[in-house]
Structure 1
Amino acid sequence: MITIVTHGDLDGLTSASILYDTLLNKNFKERINIQITQPFSLHSLLRRIGLGEKLEKLYILDIGLDEATWKRTYYELRVIRNRDIKVIWIDHHRATLQHLEELVELGITLLFSLKGSTVTIIGQNFLEETSNPEFYKKLVIMGEVGDKVRKISERDPLSRYIEYIGSSLVAYPADNNFKTKIVKLWARHKELIDDLVLKRYEEAVQKLKELTKHSKERIIYETDKIMIIDLRNTRVHGYVGKIASYHASRSRKIVFILFNAGPFETIVTCRVPPSLTFNAMKILPDIAKKYGGGGGGHEKAASVRIPREMTEEFLKELQKIVL
């Protein structure tokens, strides 16, 4: 069996679909399994995968290593490699590069570039091996736009599909079965969207309007440079990135949004407007680590998880650094 583990955003899903089609196109007789995960839960998924008896090859796509769980992730990777299972890691996150030496020592094959996104790397290495390169060129563009490493005109026909799919993903962010269906919709039917995507898009648009309006009432701290929004008492998971981007774009300020994830953790999501210099990918995880948390992302879009009881201390230190 071959397993593809990927991130559940547009970059991860488009990457998985291109790779999935490539494997199908090569007439692999092995079963191809697709799993969706987040960096902070990768170790848990690897543990379950490692218990499988028939796994022959494992692909990990678009998963930036999470420092808070790295030791557990390393252990599970070592267990898998000790079974002589081939592991190929394809990624563009700087956090993964920081553990390059350890990954190489485990015998993991790493395809990595800081330029572009994961689907950029996938396209360069697998596009011509797919059953329909012209179709998958569209997925490369969609994944890159979704990851904000490429811009296209709003008049471009793909722009509409990117909005449909991106919004449908946030309607039910924990529904990994839906994400897997999208990967297979592209690979098997060569269709960009279906009725379920449109239905969830419509639900997401309405919900986003409501939450964005509510978020304007939950600004707890604001200066000429930063804005902090407290949504810890609001069910907002899946929409936070879009809400933060909305405020960052309109205010031209660095935006931080707080929301709870389960009974023990608070997540802080940050978006930085293009006009400002602030390395969220480095600053936020460095602070979070001091309080038993961790996270990652990109220079202008990052998130960290911290214990709930440490939230106020985290905010105090964050304000000092930003100001």
Structure 2
Amino acid sequence: MIWDSELRYHNSTTLYMGWVSNLVMVNVCLSHKEDPDGIVSASLIKYAYPNTMVILADYSDLLERLEEAVGIEGLDHLFICDMGLSKANEERFFRIVEGMSRRARVTYIDHHHLEEESKDRLRGYGVELIHNITECTSILIYHNLLNENLPSRFALLAGFAAVIDEMDGREIASRILKSYDRHFVEFEATILAYAIYQNQHREEFLLALVDGLIKDMPHAIDGVLESSREYAQKITNNISVIENDARKDKDIVYIQAVDLPASTVANMLLAMHKGIKVAIAYKQRGDKMVVSLRGSSMCKLHLGKLANDIASELGGSGGGHDKASGAMIPKDSINTFIKMVKDYINNSNN
């Protein structure tokens, strides 16, 4: 059945539920919207599974989007991709998934830190769990879920996601990418990432990007090159600000981001300041502070677990990877957050 384009890109549950009710069954892919790994994951699922509706989320609205997904009439198979859990949201998440698993298939695919107890709970609900911290989610979908039974261009897309997640040196990703020109891979991965960052609040663009990647390379999709150029200009405009305003305190460096996402600024800090263990960037969002952490090779801590533990203690949420993580905390807690990170680092040195 052909999906009307107006319904595909509309962000209204009311409109698309009327469309879904005419179908016998439908698949839904709930995926992370903030970077290429989540967007590419959605493209892979949508290509491989007919009649798939995509819902994009960030970590702050994961639960609301999940409830939106499970409320869709005729839902047969729910894919949850690249949406790391935290102590703050996992109980509600488990309740929703447990109820959903009684009436539909649920597949959870992720590479963020996940406690063994949480894995056991998901398996206990009958959820198909594909979890491995050694490869990005797109690679796990291509290799583990779909058994590489897709055209080779989809392997390349997953490779782009691995590049941006800095996991392109892992076993499966590196095997895929070694067949392609390195400059081409880095170019396509970067413009894809920059276009996503530039359009974080334009869901219509991101959903169109999911569809576009099914057919084309990033550079050939409408709006990608222009959006990436605009984002690159933002970075150029902020280089001197970040160089001058960052504060260094022994093993960490930190700064408040203004024009750029905290994740981009944290990456820039880590590159600019050699010899530090952790770079922290934070950006205010309403009464919350969005925090990104990046670790150097000298950092012995798992930053995903660290962000989860500290944020939960401060009344927020967090999680992520070994060397890259994020958190959302009450804005007045940022100084405490930074101090706790420093304390953990100091203790890890002992």
Contact 2:80 2:109 in 1 (8 A): yes
The residue number in structure 1 matching 2:172 is: none
Which structure 1 segments of 5+ residues have no match?
Answer: none
- State how 1:66-145 maps to structure 2 within 5 Å: 66-82=86-102, 84-95=103-114, 97-124=116-143, 125-126=145-146, 128-130=148-150, 133-145=151-163
Is residue 2:199 matched to residue 1:176? no
SS of aligned partner of 2:75: coil
- State how 1:1-16 maps to structure 2 within 5 Å: 1-8=26-33, 9-16=35-42
TM-score, scaled relative to structure 1: 0.87
Distance 1:178 1:222, change over 3 A: same
SS of aligned partner of 1:107: coil
| 1:265 partner letter | K
Is residue 2:328 matched to residue 1:305? yes
- Distance in 1 (CA, whole Å) between partners of 2:148 and 2:323 is 32
- Distance in 2 (CA, whole Å) between partners of 1:108 and 1:307 is 33
The residue number in structure 1 matching 2:281 is: 257
- Distance in 2 (CA, whole Å) between partners of 1:316 and 1:113 is 31
Is residue 2:44 matched to residue 1:18? yes
- Distance in 1 (CA, whole Å) between partners of 2:78 and 2:233 is 38
Contact 2:78 2:106 in 1 (8 A): yes
Percent identity reads 21
- State how 1:163-242 maps to structure 2 within 5 Å: 163-187=190-214, 189-193=215-219, 194-219=221-246, 221-231=247-257, 234-236=258-260, 239-242=261-264
Distance 1:246 1:46, change over 3 A: same
Describe the superposition over 1:96-152 as per-residue Cα deviations: whole angstroms up to 9, x where unpaired. 65511111122211122222111221121326433xx12112112112112111157
- Distance in 2 (CA, whole Å) between partners of 1:303 and 1:134 is 32
- Distance in 2 (CA, whole Å) between partners of 1:128 and 1:230 is 42
Say which is worse superposed, 178-187 or 153-162, in terms of deviation: 153-162
Which structure 2 segments of 5+ residues have no match?
Answer: 1-25, 170-176
- Distance in 2 (CA, whole Å) between partners of 1:128 and 1:43 is 30
SS of aligned partner of 1:195: coil
Query: Per-residue deviation at 1:179?
Result: 1.9
Query: Per-residue deviation at 1:314?
Result: 2.5
SS of aligned partner of 1:292: coil
Describe the superposition over 1:125-184 as per-residue Cα deviations: whole angstroms up to 9, x where unpaired. 326433xx1211211211211211115798431211111111111112222322221221
SS of aligned partner of 1:94: coil
- Distance in 1 (CA, whole Å) between partners of 2:243 and 2:283 is 15
Match of 2:184 among 157, 169, 183: 157
- State how 1:39-78 maps to structure 2 within 5 Å: 39-78=59-98
| 1:54 partner letter | G
| 2:120 partner letter | E
Number of corresponding residues: 307
Is residue 2:290 matched to residue 1:267? yes
- Distance in 2 (CA, whole Å) between partners of 1:304 and 1:128 is 33
| 1:116 partner letter | E
| 1:241 partner letter | S
SS of aligned partner of 2:223: helix
SS of aligned partner of 2:328: strand
TM-score, scaled relative to structure 2: 0.81
- Distance in 2 (CA, whole Å) between partners of 1:168 and 1:265 is 25
Distance 1:51 1:140, change over 3 A: closer
RMSD of aligned Cα (Å)? 2.1
Query: Per-residue deviation at 1:33?
Result: 0.4
Contact 1:12 1:62 in 2 (8 A): yes
SS of aligned partner of 2:134: coil
SS of aligned partner of 2:218: coil
Contact 1:40 1:68 in 2 (8 A): no
| 2:338 partner letter | L
Contact 2:306 2:319 in 1 (8 A): no
Contact 1:22 1:129 in 2 (8 A): no
